[in-house]
Chain A
Amino acid sequence: MSSNKYFKHEGPWSDSNDPLMCSDTGDWRTKRPVVDKDKCIFCGFCAIYCPIQVMEMVEESYFSPDLDFCKGCGICAKECPKNAISMMPEGDFKK
């Protein structure tokens, strides 16, 4: 019999009962969305339009991106009706 090192089944099956694969897409970012909590009216447009769905509700008051995965596309900033999100160069945050 062959081994089951890479596949647990006879055929090309993947099994998501095991931990999902995940890339550090946050590393791709050149600009970072920064949310102005005061300007945020909690409309959620940034969250629904975010392709990665990483805008998280904070205290049902404002939204904040999960920077581990945010690719920095800038859709949230563009779609925010109150211009509460600005895209800041990632270099500004490096130590």
Chain B
Amino acid sequence: MTEKKKDNLTKVMDYLKHEDPFSKGVAFCPGCGLELLLRFIPQVMGNDIVITGTPSCSAPVLLGQNNQSWHTLSYFGTLMTGAAANATGLARYYRKAGIKNTVVCFNGDGTAADIGFGNLSGAAERNEPFIYICYDNEGYMNTGIQKSGTTPFGATTTTTPFGSASKGKNLRRMNLALKMAMHKIPYAATATLSDLDDLAKKLLKAKEAKKRGFAFLHVFAPCTTGWGFAPENTIEVCRRAVKTNYFPLWEAENGKIRMTKTVKKPKPVSTYTELIKKFAHLSQEDLQILQDDVDYEYCMLGGLSLLEGECRLPASLED
């Protein structure tokens, strides 16, 4: 009986080779996607990573209080403006000193797409040897749900409220991951929490790619509190984001894009938005704008993934 049951065990378990370095009781909201991601990363990549964190939802847990910590990882807690530069300084010093290292620069979309984008881009341009992970909850959640560059069209936040003169966010979101792939870095990818095997593979690929330079991972991490969906729906929201092509899963090696999960018959984006209160006010016409934006991004991605020829790093940059 037991043997038979063991065969059922999800293969994701095989990726969890290391201990969860976090204390069991930490202050993330029930159903928080970020908490799952944060516990998942070191279980896959190892506990010897150095993780950097900035003011964000992750800060109350990543950063300690006085002499005490919530986890056993080495961490560097600092400012949103310079997160990628901090990671650069760490990785470069370790390289100079011959210290084996995996520096993971872990930031929300506010740091990655907005206030810290300049130095993220700079670090990517210089092909700095570390891994940058953006957990994207589409806004400034820790300060109380404000709009960011990745907040999608139509979403209400406290700085893009719905009203007679506003549909919520009246602008479209940026595509951060594509922007990063365009830096021609060794590795860029998107991932989310419904597809943990895909996420695990990409974490390991990023760790490998880091030997050749900059690796970027954009992880879609829904926020139950800020978006308004039931805590049990976190994974379902991720799943539907993938199935509607709202958040397609792909990877780019040296700038060459490849879909890691192709959705044969994508569902309308409304099957995704219907779970989430921040879209609840949108009319059919408004939803069509969001749908068009999703289609537009997918079209761009699809076109890039069809480009023929092989992208290779110049020989001098190969390890």
Is there a direct interface between A and B, measured as CB atoms under 8 Å apart in the complex?
Answer: yes
Q: Report the bound CA distance from A59 to B233 in whole Å.
A: 29
Having A60-B5, A73-B231, one finds 7 other A-B pairs with CB under 8 Å, namely A14-B69, A16-B71, A16-B72, A20-B71, A25-B24, A29-B30, A75-B31
Q: From A48, which residue of chain B is reached at the shortest CB distance?
A: B12
Asked if residues B68 and A18 are in contact (CB atoms below 8 Å), the reply is: yes
> CB within 8 A of A43: which of B9, B20, B29?
B9
Chain B residues proximal to chain A, CB less than 8 Å: 1-2, 5-6, 8-10, 12-13, 16, 20, 23-33, 35-36, 39, 43, 63-73, 193, 196, 224, 230-236
Contacting residues, chain A, for B30 (C-beta < 8 A) = 28-29, 51, 71-73
In contact, A41 and B5 (Cβ under 8 angstroms): yes
A69 contact set on B, CB distance < 8 A: 24-25
Complex interface: chain A residues within 8 A of B20 (CB): 53
**CB nearest to A87 among chain B residues:** B232
Contact B13 A48, beta carbon cutoff 8 Å: yes
Contacts of B230 in A (CB 8 A): 74
Beta-carbon contact of B2 and A61 below 8 Å: yes
Which single member of A21, A25, A52, A60 contacts B68 (CB below 8 Å)? Answer: A21
A61 contact from B1, B13, B26, Cβ within 8 A: B1
CB-based contact A78/B235 at 8 Å: yes
Please determine whether B25 and A50 come into contact, CB atoms closer than 8 angstroms: no
A15 proximity list for chain B (CB < 8 A): 67-69
Q: Taking the nearest CB of chain B, how far is it from the CB of A91, in angstroms? A: 17
Residues A44 and B12 in contact, CB atoms below 8 Å apart = yes
B8 — which chain A residues lie within 8 A by C-beta?
41-44
Report the Cα distance A13→B64, complex, angstroms.
Answer: 8
Query: Which of A7, A21, A72 contacts B23 (CB under 8 A)?
Result: A21
Complex Cα distance, B67 from A6, in Å, reads 6
Query: If the complex has contacts A44-B10, A48-B12, are A54 and B24 also in contact, measured as CB distance less than 8 A?
Result: yes
21 chain-A/chain-B pairs, Cβ below 8 angstroms: A6-B66, A14-B64, A14-B67, A14-B68, A20-B72, A22-B23, A28-B30, A42-B9, A47-B13, A51-B30, A51-B31, A51-B35, A59-B2, A61-B1, A61-B5, A71-B31, A74-B231, A78-B233, A78-B236, A79-B235, A87-B232
Flag whether A92 is at the interface (Cβ < 8 A): no
- Name B232's closest neighbour in chain A (CB-CB): A74
In angstroms, Cα B2 to Cα A60, docked, is 7
- Given the complex of chains A and B, what is the CA–CA distance between A93 and B27 in angstroms? 24
With A73-B232, A78-B233 given, is the CB distance from A51 to B9 under 8 Å? no
Report Cα–Cα, A13/B20, bound state, in Å: 21
Determine the chain A residues whose CB is within 8 A of the CB of B28 once the complex forms: 51
B236: A residues at CB distance < 8 A? 78
Complex CA gap A21/B224 in Å reads 25
Q: Is A90 an interface residue (CB 8 A)?
A: no
B67–A21 CB distance below 8 A: no
Q: In the complex, A24→B5 CA distance in Å?
A: 33
* Bound complex: CA A63 to CA B28 (Å): 23
CB of A23 within 8 A of chain B? yes
CA distance A56 to B39 in the complex (A): 15
Q: How far is the CB of A28 from chain B (nearest CB, A)?
A: 6
**Minimum C-beta distance from A1 to chain B (A):** 17
Taken together as a complex, chains A and B put the C-alpha atoms of A4 and B146 apart, in Å, by 39
Q: How many angstroms between the C-alpha atoms of A14 and B13 in the bound complex? A: 31
Contacts of A50 in B (CB 8 A): 36
